[in-house]
């Protein structure tokens, strides 16, 4: 193909190939090195180092080869080329979710994820998933999956887990995305079920102890009254039953409401002189939920990318890039 008069961006001033892209206001060419593109992408390696027609033209023509890429996003492809040519410092750190998805699509199409991985880790690190709406976090999750960014994938999926309301089948569109190859909905359901079970246990254990009669409350006549006061507090905050509340308002809202609960007022029973519950330290109703919330909210552990990719085989082999705290225990789901 002969050279045209469109504006040229010199990614490599000594480049030997022009990649023709389409912007909203017209076409533009990227002057790149076929060697750099070949090292980064197996697709371009095949294109430039085979007997394909384009390859033959490059080898025999006196002018630079022009390859039109009308279907590829121009902004994203320019960024990929900048990174491949060691010019990542020229790329803005404020990339949008849509731009990251477009970059992921290009990297998947041209098989150059490894070449982009270090730069993509920096881009994801600059993002704050808390500031994005749910739809943007879903896009970022797709991008993190394709660009093989395990820390970003865990952090973004945690924000989705934290704020999602309703059954996780509502996230079915995640599985329908063309870049995903695993049942992502099932992973969210499994992780959410684990979080819900743990929180239910932390919240309801004191009630069960008081009403069923544990070692410290079996002879206490006031413990059931304290438990009922605590239960009324949970109901007034809209967090009981806990599992239903998580589905209705989301895990984050439930945790926030639990943090405002106070201990029920203690009232010594008629057997206080020999009652173990009344003569010793009071039973704490809020401590378990507070400790669980503090640990989970600080670690912000979402879904493990390696577990998703390997069907949790990496978990069993302890080969995940993000270490699991419970590797010494049975799998939690």
- DSSP H stretches of helix in 26-133: 34-40, 42-48, 53-60, 74-84, 97-110, 113-126
- 289 closest CA partner among 203, 198, 230, 204: 203
Rounded to 5 degrees, what are φ and ψ at 264? -65, 145
34 neighbors 52 (Cβ within 8 angstroms) = no
- pLDDT tens across 113-151, in order? 999 999 999 999 888 777 777 778 888 998 999 999 999
- pLDDT tens across 19-57, in order? 999 988 889 999 999 999 999 999 999 988 875 545 445
What sign results for the dihedral spanned by CA atoms 77, 83, 87, 93? positive
Which pLDDT band, with edges at 50, 70 and 90, does 93 fall under? confident
Round to the nearest angstrom and report the end-to-end CA distance of the chain: 57
What sign results for the dihedral spanned by CA atoms 37, 14, 31, 92? positive
Which pLDDT band, with edges at 50, 70 and 90, does 179 fall under? low
- pLDDT tens across 193-227, in order? 999 999 999 999 988 877 765 544 556 777 788 88
pTM over 0.85: no
How many Å apart are CA 290 and CA 258, to the nearest integer?
A: 8
pLDDT value at 5 more than 80? no
pLDDT value at 68 more than 60? yes
């Amino acid at each position: 193909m002969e050279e045209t008069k469109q504006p040229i961006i010199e990614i490599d001033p000594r480049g030997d190939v022009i990649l023709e892209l389409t912007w909203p206001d017209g076409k533009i060419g990227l002057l790149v090195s076929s060697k750099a593109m070949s090292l980064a992408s197996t697709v371009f390696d095949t294109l430039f180092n085979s007997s394909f027609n384009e390859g033959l033209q490059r080898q025999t023509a006196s002018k630079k080869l022009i390859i039109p890429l009308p279907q590829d996003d121009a902004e994203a492809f320019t960024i990929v080329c900048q990174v491949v040519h060691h010019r990542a410092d020229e790329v803005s750190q404020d990339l949008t979710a849509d731009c990251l998805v477009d970059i992921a699509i290009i990297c998947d199409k041209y098989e150059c994820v490894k070449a982009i991985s270090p730069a993509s880790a920096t881009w994801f690190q600059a993002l704050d998933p808390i500031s994005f709406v749910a739809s943007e976090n879903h896009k970022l999750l797709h991008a993190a999956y394709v660009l093989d960014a395990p820390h970003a994938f865990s952090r973004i999926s945690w924000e989705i887990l934290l704020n999602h309301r309703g059954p996780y089948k509502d996230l079915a569109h995640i599985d329908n995305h063309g870049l995903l190859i695993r049942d992502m909905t099932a992973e969210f359901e499994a992780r959410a079920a684990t979080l819900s079970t743990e929180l239910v246990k932390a919240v309801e254990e004191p009630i069960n102890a008081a009403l069923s009669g544990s070692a410290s409350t079996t002879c206490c006549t006031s413990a059931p009254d304290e438990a009922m006061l605590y239960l009324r507090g949970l109901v007034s905050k809209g967090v009981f039953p806990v599992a239903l509340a998580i589905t209705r308002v989301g895990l984050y809202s439930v945790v926030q409401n639990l943090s405002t609960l106070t201990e029920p007022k203690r009232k010594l029973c008629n057997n206080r002189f020999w009652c173990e519950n009344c003569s010793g330290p009071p039973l704490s109703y809020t401590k378990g939920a507070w400790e669980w919330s503090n640990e989970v909210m600080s670690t912000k552990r979402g879904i493990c990318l390696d577990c998703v990719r390997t069907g949790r085989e990496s978990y069993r082999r302890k080969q995940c890039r993000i270490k699991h705290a419970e590797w010494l225990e049975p799998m939690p789901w």
